[in-house]
Structure 1
Amino acid sequence: MLIQAVYAAARQVFSPALRRILWKSLALTAALLALVWVGLTRLFSYFLQNHTISADYPFLDGFASFVAGAGLIVALIYLLPAISAIVAGYFLDDVADVVERSDFPADPPGRALPMGHAVLYGLRFAGLSLLVNLVALLVFFIPGVNFSVFFIANAYLLGREYFELAAGRFQSPGQAAQMRVENRGTVFAAGFIVAGLVVVPILNLLTPIFGVALMVHLHKRLAARALAADMGIRSAPK
């Protein structure tokens, strides 16, 4: 089921129907990344300018600048899930509508979230992601633990939030959360795939579109399986 959903989502990311949304998503993601990069570089520049190590040892300042530059890249990687969350919340309904129309035309369409609610949900998702990744960043210098914590934390968070975004078009927040809990293993595995995409340069820009498409497919398949199981129980002889 998960393999099928991943393949279908990957195929649709570059489909003509999603191409316009993809370009807008890439532009918004790149703009937010650039904004964060400018803010971080100015923060680091201010810190280095006001905390010169020693005029007698300029090579130490050079080394500090190098370490700061590497730290910026690491910080950006840890902030990317939060940026992805904002973009995903903004384009959720556009992507979900395309996926539902193209691959599930016989099913009732989902209920679009009001724009204000979608943005607030995306901001909440981003806030949680930022908090989780700040905690993960604290163990960055512990070998063997750093990336494990990053992947596990983001697999759980991205799986949970993307799935509930997709399921929320058909269910109440409580029902969407309950469905996720009932299928926690599958949702976590899907989140692990999305988390893996986050750390791949260039491809990580596709995370919001791919994540939403993947979870729409996964939710549809899980809902169909649950319905089939329920029908089987009801039709079973007493």
Structure 2
Amino acid sequence: MIIHAARLSIANLFAAETRKVFWKVLGLTLLALIALWFVLRSTFIAFVLPWLQSVMPPVPDWTNWLTFLLAVLAGLGLALILALLISPVTALIAGLFLDDVAEVVERRDYPGDAPGKALPFVAAMKSSLKFLGVVVAGNIIALLLLFIPGVNLVAFFMVNGYLLGREFFEFAAMRFRPPEEARRFRSQYAFTVFLAGLVIAAFLAIPLVNLLTPLFAAGMMVHLHKLISQKEAARRG
């Protein structure tokens, strides 16, 4: 069931409708990163650089190369900070378009079912910020465990698997169920949702490809929610 949902979600990533969402997310992400670059650079020039100059002792003219070297290192540092921000920024922006992905999946693969209801804008923004928090918190926890041999990789998958599975499954479920019922439904199938979260965590671990994680995860959990719901209905019928 989980592998089937993942396979369907990957196929949906290449659908024309999903590509439209991808280009919107990519374009907005690039604009946000460019804006962040200017903010970081301006902050460094206006505040950090004057502070460094005030605390550093005067240096002879023949050491001007040192100033140039520090400027180069500062530029590399800003680039590194920006690289670390790519994933959270993508997560924040993509979170605003998860309903678009869900609608594509429901239209293409479940045309006979009633469509889900998109979250209101405020709820969608809250969900996007929540997902951002999940990504940041999960990776901070994994980073803290990075130096424990034999635990770091396991921690990354366990933490991200649980958090990502929970958030995205509840998102998919809340398109068809009230929030409390969606959380109960997720708890009922907690182990299945966790295993699906591990698949999302594996996707997240692939460089560059991980920029598509929110779109992949949303599609996968829509499929998983549909498949579980169909299984429930068949059992009751």
TM value normalised by structure 1? 0.78
Compared with structure 1, are the counterparts of its residues 35 and 187 closer, same or farther at alpha carbon in structure 2 (3 Å cutoff)? farther
Q: CA deviation at 1:69?
A: 7.9
Distance 1:146 1:74 in 2: 21
User: In structure 2, which of residues 130, 133, 144 is the aligned counterpart of residue 138 of structure 1?
Assistant: 144
Q: Secondary structure at the match of 2:177?
A: coil
Q: Which residue of 2 aligns with 1:122?
A: 128
Compared with structure 1, are the counterparts of its residues 38 and 230 closer, same or farther at alpha carbon in structure 2 (3 Å cutoff)? farther
Residues paired across the two proteins, number: 228
Q: Which residue of 2 aligns with 1:27?
A: 27
Could you say which structure has the larger radius of gyration? 2
Q: CA deviation at 1:75?
A: 4.2
- Structure 1, unmatched stretches of 5+, are 232-238
Read off the aligned partner of 1:168 and give its amino acid letter.
M
User: In structure 1, which of residues 154, 160, 167 is the aligned counterpart of residue 160 of structure 2?
Assistant: 154
- Name the stretch that deviates more: 85-94 or 25-34: 25-34
Q: Secondary structure at the match of 1:142?
A: coil
Do the aligned partners of 1:26 and 1:206 also contact (CA within 8 Å) in 2? Answer: no
Q: Deviations over 1:37-56 (max 9, x none)?
A: 66677889977996799989
Compared with structure 1, are the counterparts of its residues 203 and 94 closer, same or farther at alpha carbon in structure 2 (3 Å cutoff)? same
Distance 1:181 1:22 in 2: 31
- Structure 2, unmatched stretches of 5+, are none
Read off the aligned partner of 1:119 and give its amino acid letter.
M
Do the aligned partners of 2:29 and 2:90 also contact (CA within 8 Å) in 1? Answer: yes
Distance 2:96 2:234 in 1: 33
Distance 2:193 2:127 in 1: 19
Read off the aligned partner of 1:8 and give its amino acid letter.
L
- Name the stretch that deviates more: 172-181 or 141-150: 141-150
Q: Secondary structure at the match of 1:86?
A: helix
Identity %: 41
Compared with structure 1, are the counterparts of its residues 195 and 113 closer, same or farther at alpha carbon in structure 2 (3 Å cutoff)? same
Distance 2:35 2:7 in 1: 33
* 1:196 equivalent in alignment to 2:202: yes
